Amino acid sequence: MIKPSSVRPKPTPVADPVSGHLCRRLKQLRADRGWSLDALAKASGVSRSMLSQIERAKANPTLAVAFRIARAFGMTLGALVETPGATSAVEVIRAEDRAYHYRSDKNCRIRTLSPLNLEKDVEFYEVCLAEGGALRSSPHFEGTREFLTVQKGRVRVESASDAEELAPGDSATYRADVPHAIVNTGKGEAVVFLVDIYR
């Protein structure tokens, strides 16, 4: 028989630095957005109990679970798990990263050039319009403006009842809280860089 005095309690598991960082990161991201665990569970498809365990450093998420959580917050997996100072402070979006290809059809291709976590503050896009193609948009939030620079081709910018023709190197700014459009009026493909700023 083992004497009670000789029984040693099991040590409490200590979270590794990465798990500890993810625990704090998840709590901070939820707090920043005012989300409950239920809200994050709905947005990510990860159960509330699993999210709670991750936040309390009681469970290490699989790659698939971490990816779902990152996408729910509109960020890359690397941005979610990176430890400050452990990686470069320069965030790169590679041209071939399909996660940033917002739309692609025969008339219009749109690629996001800004980090996804900045969306709804500032959005930066590369827009490629086939000959005769157009990007027509419904009104955005009140006060939203768009800034556009033509890199290639000729386009017409429309904002409500106003319209202007633009050539390579031209820039324009206009209201985007009304119906608006970018129309390729030239020969061949047109390429523009577009910034949306929400107020």
DSSP per-residue letters across 149-189: EEEES-EEEEETTEEEEE-TT-EEEEE-SS-EEEEE-SSS-
Q: How confident is the model at residue 89 (pLDDT cuts 50, 70, 90)?
A: low
What domains are defined for the chain? 17-81 (1.10.260.40), 98-197 (2.60.120.10)
CA distance 94 to 98: 9
- The pTM score is 0.56
Q: What is the pLDDT of residue 5?
A: 44
The whole-number pLDDT of residue 87 equals 52
Cα 184 to its chain centre, rounded Å, is 27
Say what the pLDDT of residue 88 is: 57
pLDDT class of 163 with cuts at 50, 70, 90:
very high
pLDDT tens for each residue of 119-160:
567 889 999 999 999 999 999 888 999 999 999 999 999 999
Place of tokens 């910034």: 195
